[in-house]
Amino acid sequence: MIWKQALENDVSSTVRKWLFKTGSLSAHLQLLGPFTVDVLFEGYWDNAMEKHGNSIFAPYPFQHTTLWVRRVRLMVNAEPVVYASTFLDKKDITGEWKAVAALSSTPLASLVFRQGVLREAFAVSTIPSSHFLITGFSKKALPAVNTPQSDGLAEDYWVRRSVFYKNTSPLVLFECFLPSFWSIDEKD
């Protein structure tokens, strides 16, 4: 996986607009229709860094191999349009970021867009529909999720990575735009 902070000219202006849209993605999605957050999983993911650390988290080293994960579907008009996955170091879910564990179906934006939280520049990439950010982390940790099949719009899904810091504790957020998102945006 190659992360980029800019895109080539052959990427559509719509894709570029959404991947680099600042502020709360949830707030922007609310403008497209009735919006909800569907929590798919919250809990610890053992050996996460051993399985995927170099491929998606670098250069953000977590101190533990076990991470705390929150995985949600962002829904517009009762249709999933974005899978979002939040990763925290095991120590931070009871420390700097303990409020994340109490979010339930409240958007993460309610915590990360506060004074004292810093956000790094976006990094973007594409991932195949078989990637764990789309399908789930492991059969043991997360039940299977029915994901939209590729409908010819794209072979890969666009994903953006944000890193938020509260003091020196990172929260890594991945937002995967599903093919259904682009058709909803076209209606706007």
Beta-bridge partners for 72? 39, 84
Distance, in Å, from the CA atom of 88 to the CA atom of 144, rounded to the nearest integer, reads 22
Q: Where residue 54 falls among pLDDT bands split at 50, 70, 90?
A: low
Distance, in Å, from the CA atom of 165 to the CA atom of 112, rounded to the nearest integer, reads 9
Q: What is the model's pTM?
A: 0.85
pLDDT tens figures, 140-159: 443 344 444 434 334 688 99
Distance, in Å, from the CA atom of 82 to the CA atom of 84, rounded to the nearest integer, reads 6
pLDDT tens figures, 6-44: 777 778 888 889 999 999 999 999 999 999 999 999 998
Distance, in Å, from the CA atom of 180 to the CA atom of 84, rounded to the nearest integer, reads 15
**Which of 12-21, 75-84, 110-119, 138-147 ranks highest by mean pLDDT?**
75-84
Pick the more confident residue, 163 or 61: 163
Give the Cβ contact number of residue 91 at 10 Å.
Answer: 15
Q: Given CA atoms 104, 107, 108, 110 in this order, what sign does their dihedral have? A: negative
Distance, in Å, from the CA atom of 87 to the CA atom of 183, rounded to the nearest integer, reads 28
Give the Cβ contact number of residue 7 at 10 Å.
Answer: 14
